[in-house]
Amino acid sequence: MFTRDEDRPLWEREGRDWPHRAASRFVEAAGLRWHVQEMGAPDRPPLVLVHGTGAATHSWRGLMPRLAEQFRVVAPDLPGHGFTDPLPDRRLSLPGMASALGDLLRHLGIEPAVAVGHSAGAAILARLCLDGGIEPRLLVALNGALKPFPGMAGLIFPGMARMLFLNPVTPRVFAWTADRTAVERLIRGTGSSLDRQGLDLYRRLFQKPGHVAGALGMMANWNLDALDRDIGRLATRTLLIVGADDKAVAPEAAFALRDRLADARVDLMRNLGHLAHEEAPDKVAASIVREAESLGLLPG
């Protein structure tokens, strides 16, 4: 989908008071200009954070500094999201997104010891692991969207997203209606409740048609069937952190996935939804650190 430059979030405008702005930089990799944030001492174990569909680095505003106490943390905006350029339509598949992320990490010289992905970001990281793009000691899925929608939903939802993506009016209509009330309703629909700043940051992005088009394009080309077939080959230690009140990804899917993986466990967090890492960053950070300590990545 073609979007004008003014449709994209601008660093000088939407990023004027972006969380942890001092940690931001822009780099060229995989034919794209990426927005990347980095925190933590360079001699600490490297950890990559990958946000989900429709989000950006602001999603890590609470979690990132906590993890930076133990790790060198790198967090990019995914292509078409936030302040990163969009991928060409032909590369908007899950393998295409994973490949682009792998190119970025190689360009940065990052070989993550820990890879943390939220929702669709977890699928990108799992695909990258399976394809040999990264070899982390620990993969963390935060309410990971790692399985196809069940039944007819698996056929209807991707097709609907593609129709919306191909209609150039859709992102503008969505952006036009994205006031604070609409954004709060959308977030609550995931089972989460965010503070005023969190809602405002999502609203700021959702009011830009280019960001909306990036999210729709990602969903329109998302096919998890191949990942679902391959996931049993994933040998990486996997921590599945699950918000018990998640309304976007069924919590029970994580328990079914755990039983298919060679080395995985579930950490179920009560009274948290799909954005558990934004609601309770201390609790999520502690879970990740404990798992890393158990692998000897950090001093216990």
User: Is 54 within a domain?
Assistant: yes
Tokens representing 300? 């216990």
Those residues with Cβ within 8 angstroms of residue 86's Cβ, 6 or more apart along the chain or in another chain = 3, 32, 79, 80, 210, 213, 214, 217
Backbone angles phi, psi at 246, to 5 degrees: -60, 125
User: Is 289 within a domain?
Assistant: yes
Q: What CATH number does the domain containing 86 carry?
A: 3.40.50.1820
User: Is 299 within a domain?
Assistant: no
User: Is 300 within a domain?
Assistant: no
pLDDT per position as a tens digit, 123-171: 999 999 999 999 999 999 999 999 875 543 343 345 554 454 444 545 5
Tokens representing 38? 């980095």
Q: CA–CA separation, 223 vs 122, rounded Å?
A: 14
List the one residue out of 66, 74, 19 whose CA is nearest residue 42. 74
Strands, E assignment, the chain: 24-29, 32-39, 46-50, 72-76, 114-118, 138-142, 237-243, 264-269
Q: Which amino acid is at 25?
A: R
pTM beyond 0.75: the answer is yes
User: Is 61 within a domain?
Assistant: yes
Q: Which residues of 255-286 are buried (b: 16+ CB within 10 A; e: fewer)?
A: eebbeebeebebbebeebbbbbbbbbbeebbe
pLDDT per position as a tens digit, 50-82: 999 999 999 999 999 999 999 999 999 999 999
pLDDT per position as a tens digit, 212-260: 888 888 877 778 889 999 999 999 999 999 999 999 899 999 999 999 9
CB of 123 closer than 8 Å to CB of 117: yes
- Number of domains comprising the chain: 1
User: Is 73 within a domain?
Assistant: yes
User: Is 253 within a domain?
Assistant: yes
SS3 breakdown of the chain: % helix, strand, coil, rounded to 5? 45, 15, 40
Q: CA–CA separation, 248 vs 104, rounded Å?
A: 29
User: Is 149 within a domain?
Assistant: yes
CA 227 to chain centroid: 16
The range of the structural domain enclosing residue 91 comes to 5-294
List the one residue out of 100, 92, 33, 76 whose CA is nearest residue 213. 92
